[in-house]
């Protein structure tokens, strides 16, 4: 849609938009302003009409003609005031042609009536008609055709009134008509300029609004794109859980917090057992879905503050803030059970999945997650070696002693014996506790 009303191509001879929906929009936008302007113009005009009653009286005394004029003035002023009141309650009346034009018709008729009734001569009446003629253009927010029609009635009425009651010499008559014609032309041009100015401002405003809207939409789109990209950069596409990079960011934050507050932080490495066989027998699509289900099941037993990420392939990694090895073992057991508790139904295939989990605790003196992850990985490897579908942990130092004294399910004898059996195959350092279900 073209928006530059300043070049005039968009406007017709009335100074209105050729595009009628746009003109309607303009008029709707201007309604409150038009209504206010019309109300003020009507009140002022009513006052003026009544004020001229004083000059009627000074010229005519309390004659019958004065009474007729007074009745006319009161009628016109009353109709103006009533219309002003009506517009106050229903502003839409300001742009409805009928009420405004009826009031104008009444006022012009009243002014024409002064020609036969007032005794101060045609020239005074002529002056008041010139003032009324320009008022029609300037103060009544009407459309140009109605303004022209009102003025045509005024000039026609003047000619008839002069012919009937106050014949003028030809020169004076021509002079009067020229004067009225000039006033009409001047006012018409002024109104057209005013219309053009208002509409050009309105067009600029619309343009500005549409640019702002487009900008807002663009910003919104960019924000959404940014959010999508950020989400993609943090999320594993297949399983929907945190990806490896994001896991390390979050887990590193937790490690620093744990170090600062002196609270425990444990790590779990979770690996799906015999996953290669699932891919080989049922295909990668089934394997993909199985990974998604395993991730969802693991997530379902974790707290909101726990962090689970896809470490790579069929391996997941979990950081458990505020969890010592005992708590981590309980969580890992729940996790192992939730995976193997019921078979997976995927694309008509029933899979009995199990996971092996290696656990470690991040030591106070450690400045990165790597040693802890390595220990969890070694424990996981030990778990695989000892038959899979189990939870294995690598306690060290005081924690080992503590565990040995508090673990009722695993007697110290079993711990040592199992640890001894697993340790050489898994890694030479540290005792490991394979916790079979």
Ligand X SMILES: Nc1nc2c(ncn2[C@@H]2O[C@H](COP(=O)(O)OP(=O)(O)OP(=O)(O)O)[C@@H](O)[C@H]2O)c(=O)[nH]1
Residues at the contact surface with ligand X, assessed by CB under 6 A: 238, 271-277, 279, 284, 287-288, 291, 313-314, 384, 388
Nearer to ligand X, 184 or 356 (CB): 356
Report how far residue 257's alpha carbon sits from residue 251's, in angstroms, rounded to the nearest whole number: 10
Give least dist CB 349 to ligand X, A.
13
User: Which residues contact residue 129 at a Cβ distance below 8 angstroms, ignoring those fewer than 6 apart?
Assistant: 111, 112, 154, 158, 180
Residues 6+ apart with CB under 8 A from 375: 358, 360, 394, 396, 430
The minimum distance between CB 312 and ligand X, in angstroms, equals 7
Structure token digits, residue 134: 């320009």
How far, in Å, CA of 385 to CA of 373, rounded? 18
Closer to ligand X by Cβ: residue 153 or 274: 274
Shorter beta-carbon distance to ligand X: residue 392 or 403: 392
Least gap, CB of 247 to ligand X (angstroms): 16
Cα 403 from Cα 381, distance rounded (Å): 21
Which residues are bridge partners to 271 per DSSP?
Answer: 315, 356
- For residues 197-213, b (16+ Cβ closer than 10 Å) or e, as one string? ebbbebbeebeeeeeee
* Nearest CA among 421, 416, 423, 418 for reference residue 436: 418
* Min separation Cβ 287 and ligand X, Å: 3
In the complex with ligand X, the residue whose CB is nearer, 257 or 276, is 276
CB of 382 to ligand X, least distance (A): 12
Strand partners, 11: 17
| DSSP secondary structure letter of residue 123 | H
Cα separation, 246 vs 234, whole angstroms = 5
Nearer Cβ to ligand X, position 213 or 244? 244
For tokens 């990209």, the residue is 229
CB nearer to ligand X: pick between 238 and 338: 238
What is the closest distance, in whole angstroms, from the C-beta atom of residue 305 to ligand X in the complex? 27
Q: Which is nearer to ligand X, 23 or 273 (CB)?
A: 273
Smaller CB distance to ligand X: residue 94 or 295? 295
Closer residue to ligand X in complex, CB, 204/279: 279
**3-state secondary structure string across 253-303:** HHHHHHHHHCCCEEEEEEEECCHHHHHHHHCHHHHHHHHHHHHHHHHHCCC
Residue indicated by tokens 């079979």: 436
Q: Which residue sits closest to ligand X, CB atoms considered? A: 287
| Least distance in angstroms from the C-beta of 432 to ligand X | 17
CB contact set of 103 (below 8 Å; sequence gap of 6+): 42, 79, 80, 83
For 165, residues 6+ apart whose C-beta sits below 8 A from its C-beta are 115, 116
Residue 271 or residue 377: which is nearer to ligand X going by CB?
271
Closest distance of CB 266 from ligand X, Å: 22
Beta bridge partners of 349: 346
Q: How far is the CB of 372 from ligand X (least distance, A)?
A: 21
> Cβ(358)–Cβ(383) under 8 Å?
yes
Min CB(238)–ligand X separation in Å:
6
């Amino acid at each position: 849609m073209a928006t530059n009303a300043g070049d005039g191509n968009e406007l017709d001879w009335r100074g209105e938009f050729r595009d009628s929906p746009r003109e309607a929009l303009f008029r709707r936008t201007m309604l409150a302003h038009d209504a206010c302007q019309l109300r003020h113009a009507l009140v002022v005009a009513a006052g003026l009409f009544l004020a001229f009653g004083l000059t009627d009286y000074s010229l005519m005394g309390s004659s019958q003609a004065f009474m007729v004029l007074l009745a006319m003035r009161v009628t016109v002023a009353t109709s103006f005031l009533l219309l002003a009141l009506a517009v106050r309650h229903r502003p839409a009346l300001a742009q409805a042609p009928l009420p405004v034009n009826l009031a104008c018709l009444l006022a012009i008729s009243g002014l024409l009536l002064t020609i036969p009734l007032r005794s101060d001569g045609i020239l005074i009446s002529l002056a008041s008609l010139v003032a009324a003629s320009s008022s029609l253009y300037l103060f009544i927010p009407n459309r140009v055709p109605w303004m022209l029609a009102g003025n045509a009635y005024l000039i026609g009425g003047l000619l008839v009134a002069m012919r009937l009651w106050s014949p003028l010499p030809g020169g004076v008559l021509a002079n009067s008509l020229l004067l009225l014609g000039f006033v009409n032309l001047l006012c018409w041009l002024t109104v057209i300029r005013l219309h053009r100015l208002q509409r050009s401002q309105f067009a600029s405003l619309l343009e500005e609004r549409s640019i702002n809207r487009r900008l807002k939409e663009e910003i919104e789109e960019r924000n959404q794109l940014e959010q999508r990209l950020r989400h993609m950069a943090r999320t594993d596409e297949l399983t929907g859980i945190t990806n490896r990079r994001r896991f390390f960011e979050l887990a590193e934050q937790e490690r620093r917090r744990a170090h600062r507050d002196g609270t425990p932080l444990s790590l779990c490495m979770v690996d799906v057992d015999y996953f290669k066989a699932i891919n080989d027998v049922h295909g990668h699509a089934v394997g993909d879905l199985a990974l998604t289900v395993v991730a969802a099941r693991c997530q379902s037993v974790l707290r909101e503050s726990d962090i689970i990420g896809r470490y790579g392939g069929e391996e997941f990694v979990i950081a458990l803030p505020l969890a010592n090895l005992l708590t981590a073992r309980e969580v890992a057991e729940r996790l192992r059970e939730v995976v193997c508790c019921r078979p997976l139904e995927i694309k008509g295939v029933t899979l009995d999945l199990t996971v092996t989990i290696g656990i470690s605790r991040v030591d106070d003196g450690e400045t990165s997650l790597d040693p802890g992850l390595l220990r969890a990985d070694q424990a996981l490897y030990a778990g695989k070696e000892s038959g899979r579908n189990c939870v294995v942990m690598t306690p060290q130092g005081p924690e080992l002693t503590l565990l040995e004294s508090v673990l009722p399910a695993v007697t110290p004898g079993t711990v040592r014996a199992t640890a001894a059996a697993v340790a050489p195959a898994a890694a030479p350092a540290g005792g490991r506790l394979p916790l079979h279900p």
